[in-house]
Amino acid sequence: MQNRAQWQSRLGFVLAATGSAVGLGNIWKFPYITGMNGGGLFVLVYLFCIAGVGIPILAAEVLLGRATAQSPVGAFRSLSREGSPWVLVGGLGVLTAGTILSYYGVVAGWCLDYVLLSATGRLTATAPDDVPSLFGELYADPARNVVWLTVFTAATVWVILGGVRKGVERASLILMPLFFLTLVILVVHSGTLPGFGEALDFLFTPRPENLSPAGVLEALGHSFFSLSVAMGAMLTYGSYLSKKESIPVTTLTVGTLDTLVALVACLVLFPIIFTFGMEASAGPGLVFMSIPAALVQLPLGALWSILFFALLFLAAWTSAISLLEVLVAYGIDEWKLSRKVSTLLFGAIVYLFGIPSALSGGEGFFGKGLQEATGRNWFDWFDYVASNWFLPLGGLGISIFVAWKLEDGLRRAAFGEGTPEAWQARLYAGWLMLLRYLAPVAIVAIFLHVIGVI
């Protein structure tokens, strides 16, 4: 355990963790659910969920990793009695990471396809009304999806093979600044569009009549997904964090950056949507259909769409890196594999499970077949089970374990290490309150909602 890798710098950890958190959830999902829930008030509720529940759980996860210097399964094992069922929470995290990663790569592949469509001029040569059908074509094309999934998996495996410092940390130090730069360019451009004022109003003027109770729970569920909590990814990254760093400071930074990116992504997208009088509530097709249909009508449209989809790709890539690292660290810690063997093994497994997802838009068994038999294709099933069941379960397990099972002295020390003494007591008390009471109640509410009780 002595020679477990550690991040070289605080910035390395913060950027890697932010890279994990900032993903398709921020740029694709957050804007479209904001659109569907009427903007303003939904955004405000989301901010409360992040601050009150998301960040406290994030801190709990990083704490578990750092205190044990283990990946999820080992972390729970070393903090509980022998044979204790808590280990299952760690195992669930590993399973969830694999489940999400398998279909995440398919969506990342779409981004690459769109970069190519834009760069070759095919996108701009398409009439705006026909742009949505470009997505339909891509979605239904098995070969194209499998090719992109292969490229994306290879890129992710390549980074993880390099290890914590030379792979993950180095990639984050390069990719995240590139990501922020691209985001800034895009938002400055959106700021010049006539729809910018309307977008500001939509996003920041609360209109209670547009938000339903279901929307509140959606905001809560999404705050988990967006921060990458409840599945061991942040735990694993935390296991490489030095005891000299402050958990409250770093996790607040990560949570704030993640939230800022989601808000700025809305400021990139909604001005474009409003400038062309399109529907803010278009749903999941917002990014892959409405946005390109608008972009092709702008001067330099090909450039903006290359930048936008490259941005989305970078976001997806750094998230996938952290997902694969959960599996690989598990293989190294628990099965005593070398990093190389573990990476190739888990890369291959996730790739195999990703293929049916890549075929899910097609006519075959994994697509239309399952869809007709069960109401969801393979991709939708994986997404549904992971987001609605595994994530809340994992979040509940982690928060209850840290808030109620861990011994107070150990927990207080593990939380405080690296934080200036003067702040420790108050931060600890506030964090523990949220984690003890608000987090479990909120998660149980998500469950009741998923089951259909509320």
Cβ-based nearer residue to ligand TRP, 105 or 418:
105
- The radius of gyration of the chain from alpha carbons, rounded to an integer in Å, stands at 21
Is 202 a residue that touches ligand TRP (CB under 6 A)? Answer: no
User: What distance in Å separates the CA atoms of residue 407 and residue 414, rounded to the nearest whole number?
Assistant: 11
Interacting span for ligand TRP (CB under 6 A) from 2-10, 56-64, 135-143, 225-233: 225-233
Identity of the residue, 23 or 418, whose beta carbon is nearer to ligand TRP in the bound complex: 23
Map residues 278-317 to x or -, x wherever contact with ligand TRP holds by CB under 6 A: ----------------------------------------
Q: Given the complex with ligand TRP, which of 217 and 262 has the nearer CB atom? A: 262
CB of 155 to ligand TRP, least distance (A): 15
Report helix, strand or coil for 228: coil
CB of 272 to ligand TRP, least distance (A): 21
CB 297 within 8 A of CB 316: no
Query: How many other β-carbons are positioned within 10 Å of the β-carbon of residue 439?
Result: 25
Distance of closest approach, residue 320 Cβ to ligand TRP, in angstroms:
7
Choose one: 121-129, 226-234, 422-430, 445-453; the region binding ligand TRP (CB under 6 A). Answer: 226-234
Rounded to a whole number of angstroms, the minimum distance from the CB of residue 187 to ligand TRP is: 18
DSSP string, 236-299: HHHTT--TTS-HHHHHHHHHHHHHHHHHHHHHHHHHHHHHTT--TT-TTHIIIIIHHHHHTTST
- C-beta separation of 54 from 255 below 8 A: yes
Kindly state the greatest CA–CA separation across the chain: 65
Q: Per rule CB under 6 A, is residue 323 in the interface with ligand TRP?
A: yes
CA distance 424 to 8: 25
25 binds ligand TRP (CB under 6 A): yes
Contact 454, 213 (CB under 8 A): yes
**What is the nearest approach in angstroms of ligand TRP to the Cβ of residue 231?**
5
Regarding 172 and contact with ligand TRP (CB under 6 A), the answer is no
**What is the DSSP annotation of 386-440?**
IIIIIHHHHHHHHHHIIIIIS-HHHHHHHHHTTS-HHHHHHHHHHHHHIIIIIHH
Cβ 176 to ligand TRP, closest distance in Å? 14
- Nearest CA to 99 out of 390, 422, 399, 446 is that of 390
Return the range that interacts with ligand TRP (CB under 6 A); candidates 16-24, 42-50, 248-256, 370-378: 16-24
CA neighbor of 172 nearest in space, from 344, 7, 6: 7
Q: Considering only 21-29, 36-44, 168-176, 266-274, which stretch makes contact with ligand TRP by CB under 6 A?
A: 21-29
Please select the residue that binds ligand TRP; options are 156, 319, 371, 377, rule is CB under 6 A: 319
Token couple for 288:
């892959």
Question: With binding defined as CB under 6 A, does residue 24 bind ligand TRP?
Answer: yes
Q: Smallest distance, Å, CB 114 to ligand TRP?
A: 17
Residue 231 in the binding site for ligand TRP (CB under 6 A): yes
List 226, 239, 342, 357, residue binding ligand TRP (CB under 6 A): 226
Which residues of the shown chain bind ligand TRP in the complex (CB under 6 A)?
20-21, 23-26, 100, 225-226, 228, 231, 233, 319, 322-323
